[in-house]
Chains A and B, each alone.
Chain A
Amino acid sequence: MAQMLKIDDIAVSYGNIEALHGISMEVEAGGIVSLIGANGAGKSTLLKAIVGQVPLTRGSITFEGSPICVPRHSKKEGGKALPTHDIAKLGIALVPEGRHVFADMTVEENLDMGAFLVKDPAVIERKKEEMYDFFPILGARRKQKTRSLSGGEQQMMAIARALMSSPKLLLLDEPGLGLAPLIVQDIFHKIRLINEEDGVTVFLVEQNARMALRNSTVGYVMETGNIVLSDASEALLVNERVKKAYLGE
């Protein structure tokens, strides 16, 4: 399989505190990669680094062979950190932690925003219909303000919004956070469908390790800013260390 995203020894700091200390990982095209780890391990920071919302202090991130994130003022050749909106244009969509729906806009307007980069109105309409088919609850609520949706519905909306631009790589930050187990199951089922039927590569970050590993091909484990383990997800599910620390067995 072709390599889609390559993260090479990146470090990120907030002020004087380094949050990521040299992370390297790879996402192959067509797969579902999961990153598990405790609260505060730096998982969300890693996703923000990929979309250019936090600057790197070291290392580089390459998408489909071309560098998208490098440290600012980097003298390395091709060394220009792309702004977030340009990274979106390359086909990377992030569903942020806490969903971040545009609460004062309707479901339909949120989807329109997801399709901001799509110029053809016919394509936008078709994508919207696809989303209403895929998430019927959104179709029923298309004219409602997103504020009035339940947490699970908002999560589906955030995923649908990210899919509107037909991304190549979908990044999901804690898609199951704060939702009832049945809804979490439903959402992970949908994520698999997005991957298997539409061929979208998925990189998901989850605290719910069991859910994440069961629904992915490759898994990474992050602890306080370092990747401590990586393997096929199936192998991680039976790994003693993972079982003890993350699966409560």
Chain B
Amino acid sequence: MPGGEVRLVVRHVTRKATGWLLMIVVATNVTYLLASFFLDPRSNFKDLRPVRSEAQIDRALAPYNLDPRVPLVDRWWDWLTSVVLHFDWGRSPTGVSVNGEIGYRSLVSAELVVLSLVFSVLAGVALGVYTASRQYGWSDRVSQAVSVVVFNVPTSVAALAVVFVAIWLNQHAGLHFLYVAGENAPGVQGLLPTVGDRLLHLILPTLTLTLMGYVGYHLTQRSLLLDTINADFVRTAQATGLTRSQAIRRHALRTALIPTATSVAFSVPAVFTGAIVTETIFGWSGMGSYFIQTISKNDVHGTVATAAFAAALTAIGAILADVATVFLDPRVRVS
């Protein structure tokens, strides 16, 4: 790409990013109001013993800018200034820093989701390509049927099925490395054992997420490729002396991969937002379980920060997808 074009892309991205930023700001503030309305931090203290008075509870919440006696507008303003000036997203009703939690948990989620994303894309695209070139063959029909079923199974059912099988294997085949809960085992020492231990804990949740994730890539890649496989230019390529499979590989596939690459670019940032149901079932404390925790523990600031984080990553994904299209597809480049 010549320099002028890069400048155009940069300008385009900047303009888009500004629009996104505006939307994120609005979305975040709306979420703040909704969360303040729907979540009641005081209820966290209701069941504590010894029983505390209303005033005691409010006083306990005051340092975290959650005191319900302070007008909502003032609380909102304080929260906003601290976010804008110090990038401090506040604290939970028990005083835990939201910034710290998100920083740690997003990495946990990433650890969980990155591998499965890679596997999903590889498996899904490979399967899509394999079956598209054998349309209506038995391998196509079988994998299509499997994918349609898997695609429509709720994550909870699939994940628990994986857990069930793993436990059965552990009991009957004497395996002991399929861990059904947690990110790591307590008390493991040393670098290599720690890495090994974490990897073993990754097996089942990664398997689940891959299972849930590959299907979309399989079905879309298959239909994308089927749409291009009969394109005139594939026939032209064959006419120059390529076999059908060479022509499909070199011409149809390259073209059909562009939308997939775009959608992968879109979903890469989303790895940090984690997988809610899977994290819950496998007991990982990533962003997904943080999401549940903040809502059920009436953590206004945590909830808002989670929303802002997710919205920001969506925006980054969309911009990445745009840029990917520009770089991969000569047709949308400005000439």
Pair from one complex: no
